[in-house]
Amino acid sequence: MLEHPPPAPDPVGSSRTVLDRDDIARALTRISHEILERNKGPEDLVLLGLHTRGVPLATRLAERIAAVEGTTVATGSLDVTMYRDDLRQHPTRTPHRTEIPGDGIDGKVVVLVDDVLYSGRTIRAALDAVSDLGRPAAVRLAVLVDRGHRELPIRADHVGKNLPSARTERVDVQVAEIDGHDEVRISDTGGAR
């Protein structure tokens, strides 16, 4: 059997695309079907996108669900800025607007939508924010990328791509609505995201 040498490590500062536009589209389609399957249809679903890139991802999921089910799914946005546990270390954050659909979230199945799941701290903040807004029947989590390195016991219910990464790597999600194109890149910059 022929052995292949391991790939050479990327030099510091290098970057590579791990998901392109088509990969992201396929992942979102799969996630939307998983959400419908787990919920047994679109009834009582509310998709809440976390600012910033979770908001357009939630909208895209809602569009895919509507295309399959022929019905509109309630969609909103959630700002967790004031619920973060690192607010003292990073006090200069620009708050965004939280928008909850007209019927609210009481008794609904709320699916939080975010771009990257990393330490779990943003999702913990989102859970605190949701509890201030009402009492949903269930809260689930859909993320485009799960990169690992959890600091809190939080797990995504729906994942576009599991992307094992080093803490020194940065995962950048770009969406057309904000960045002009769809792409997920990973780079070894010594930073973390």
Q: Considering the entire predicted model, what is its pTM? A: 0.89
> Does residue 193 register a pLDDT over 80?
no
Helices 21-39, 54-69: axis angle to 10 degrees equals 60
What would the pLDDT profile of 60-112 be if each residue is shown by its tens digit?
A: 999 999 999 999 999 999 999 989 887 666 656 677 889 999 899 999 999 99
Over the chain, what is the mean pLDDT? Answer: 91
The answer, yes or no, to whether the previous bond of 52 is cis (omega within 30 of 0) is yes
Which numeric CATH code is attached to 15-83+102-188?
A: 3.40.50.2020
Helix (H) / strand (E) containing 161:
strand 158-162
Cβ contact 144:57 at 8 Å: yes
For residues 41 and 68, give the distance between their C-alpha atoms in angstroms, rounded to a whole number: 10
- Percent of the chain beyond pLDDT 90? 81
Q: What confidence score (pLDDT) does residue 96 get?
A: 83
